[in-house]
């Protein structure tokens, strides 16, 4: 029984080996040759553009913050989001009951100080006449002058307090500093707010917006004022908006291990499609060469054979017409200018307009079936 089992295993192994050999020779017989198919592109003049992709957020171009100068309870609010307001228009009123009481007290003290000042002034004038007639001593005159100065100082202090109280009454009426649109309202009737609270944000116009973009530290050296920026927002993905950089900020924004720098883009919004707070995907044009000799970027990274790299030098593989070698190409050194998104500017070297440079290599397999079909 053991011999029978051993014989069966031997037969199974032999059959498997035969099948593997048959498969191997069948695949080998189907493959005739493997050769490379080279793809070229003709060198010609054209534009070379380099751009940087960033993200950012839209803001009101010049927002006007309407602050509360005093704290207290808000009695009434007379405007709302998106409302058009005019310069000087009443927007809200803060309860001024305590201020009115303060004004009454300050006014009473001020009036009394005026009377006191008048009294010591007349006394000083009388003392001065008596001094001229030598009816009083110089010492008495100095005491009268000192008393007058004390009352005058107190009078000025009370007058200032009274004027401040009157101004606080005016601060209880919140008015618009400009004509424009209410972008934000941060106040509610009967709410209690402290001094310095932002009640409203008003934009004089929404026809211009400000886009704050975040530029990676590796790209910030390419950013300059005046560079063209185009961007889209998710609300209008098919529409490209345009603007220009007006400020490059040097204050770094650090989030984890990522460092970015903000730049300000001023853009038009004539159709009022853009809204504050929208997120934008922007492209900054940082380099542009027009009508220059150019080659595709991939032509610098493709090679038919393993070639030695030379630091600081760049090479291309140029097609040689009529060359009978196995590789119909020759390696030439070139000098480059702007390296763009798709093309690189050629400023010198062994390349001229009309030459063909290698941009890709594809492996091609010839089978017996293909060869047999050539004569059909």
Residues 241-288 have pLDDT tens digits of 999 999 999 999 998 889 999 999 999 999 999 999 999 999 999 999
Q: Provide the whole-model pTM.
A: 0.67
Residue 342 has phi, psi (to 5 degrees) of -125, -30
134 with 236, same domain? no
308 with 264, same domain? no
302 with 362, same domain? yes
283 with 245, same domain? yes
Nearest in space to 231 (alpha carbons), one of 223, 239, 219: 239
The full DSSP string for 253-293 is EEETTEEEEEEEEEEE-TT----TT-EEEEEEEEEEEEEEE
> Is residue 75 in some structural domain?
yes
73 with 119, same domain? no
Domain end: 146, 169, 192, which one? 169
pLDDT digits (tens, 9 = 90+) for 153-184: 999 999 999 999 999 899 999 999 999 999 99
The boundaries of the domain holding residue 80 are 66-95+172-204
**340: CATH:** 2.40.420.20
> Is residue 73 in some structural domain?
yes
Distances in whole angstroms, Cα of residue 231 to Cα of each of 214, 246, 265: 13, 16, 11
> Is residue 26 in some structural domain?
no
> Is residue 325 in some structural domain?
yes
266 with 307, same domain? no
Nearest in space to 215 (alpha carbons), one of 205, 204, 224: 224
Taking each helix axis from N to C end, the angle separating 138-171 and 97-132, rounded to the nearest 10 degrees, works out to 160
Residue 24 neighbours by CB under 8 Å, 6+ apart: none
> Is residue 241 in some structural domain?
yes
334 with 296, same domain? yes
150 with 110, same domain? yes
Question: How many Cβ atoms sit within 10 Å of the Cβ of residue 142?
Answer: 12
88 with 183, same domain? yes
250 with 223, same domain? yes
200 with 72, same domain? yes
> Is residue 7 in some structural domain?
no
Q: Which residue has the higher pLDDT, 19 or 359?
A: 359
- Residue 302 CA to its chain's centroid (Å): 37
> Is residue 259 in some structural domain?
yes
Q: Which residue has the higher pLDDT, 136 or 352?
A: 352
Q: Quote the CA–CA distance of 32 and 23 in Å, as a whole number.
A: 16
Domain end: 142, 169, 196, which one? 169
Kindly state the average pLDDT of the residues 8-16.
64
Domain end: 248, 264, 288, which one? 288
pLDDT digits (tens, 9 = 90+) for 31-89: 555 567 889 999 999 999 999 999 999 999 999 999 999 999 999 999 999 999 999 99
323 with 352, same domain? yes
> Is residue 266 in some structural domain?
yes
Whether the Cβ atoms of residue 30 and residue 368 lie closer than 8 Å to each other: yes
State how many domains the chain has. Answer: 4
Q: Quote the CA–CA distance of 270 and 272 in Å, as a whole number.
A: 5
pLDDT of 376 above 60: no
């Amino acid at each position: 029984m053991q011999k029978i089992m051993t014989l069966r295993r031997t037969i199974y192994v032999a059959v498997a080996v035969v099948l593997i050999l048959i498969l191997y020779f069948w695949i080998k017989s189907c493959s005739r040759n493997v050769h490379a198919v080279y793809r070229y592109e003709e060198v010609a003049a054209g534009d070379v553009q380099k751009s940087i992709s960033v993200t950012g957020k839209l803001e009101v171009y010049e927002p006007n913050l309407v602050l509360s100068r005093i704290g207290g309870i808000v009695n009434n609010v007379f405007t709302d989001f998106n409302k058009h307001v005019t310069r000087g228009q009443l927007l809200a009123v803060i309860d001024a009951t305590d201020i009115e009481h303060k004004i009454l007290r300050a006014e009473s003290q001020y009036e009394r100080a005026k009377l006191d000042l008048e009294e010591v002034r007349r006394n000083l004038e009388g003392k001065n006449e008596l001094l001229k007639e030598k009816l009083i001593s110089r010492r008495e005159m100095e005491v009268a002058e000192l008393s007058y100065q004390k009352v005058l100082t107190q009078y000025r202090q009370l007058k200032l307090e009274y004027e401040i109280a009157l101004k606080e009454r005016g601060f209880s009426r919140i008015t618009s500093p400009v004509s424009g649109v209410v972008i934000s309202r941060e106040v509610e009737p009967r709410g209690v707010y402290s001094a310095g609270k932002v009640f409203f944000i008003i934009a004089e116009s929404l026809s211009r917006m400000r886009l704050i973009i975040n530029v990676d530290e590796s790209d910030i050296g390419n950013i300059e004022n005046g560079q063209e920026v185009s961007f889209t927002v998710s609300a209008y993905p098919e529409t490209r908006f345009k603007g220009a950089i007006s400020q490059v900020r040097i204050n770094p924004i650090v989030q984890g291990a990522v460092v970015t720098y903000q730049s300000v883009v001023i853009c038009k919004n004539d159709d009022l499609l853009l809204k504050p707070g929208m997120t934008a995907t922007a492209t900054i044009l940082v380099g542009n060469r027009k009508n220059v000799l150019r080659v595709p970027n991939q032509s610098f990274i493709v090679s038919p054979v393993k070639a030695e790299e030379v630091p600081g030098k760049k090479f291309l593989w140029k097609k040689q017409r009529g060359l009978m070698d196995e590789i119909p190409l020759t390696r030439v050194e070139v000098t480059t200018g702007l390296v763009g998104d798709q093309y690189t500017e050629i400023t010198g070297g062994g390349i001229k307009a009309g030459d063909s440079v290698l941009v890709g290599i594809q492996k091609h397999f010839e089978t017996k079936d293909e060869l047999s079909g050539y004569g059909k």
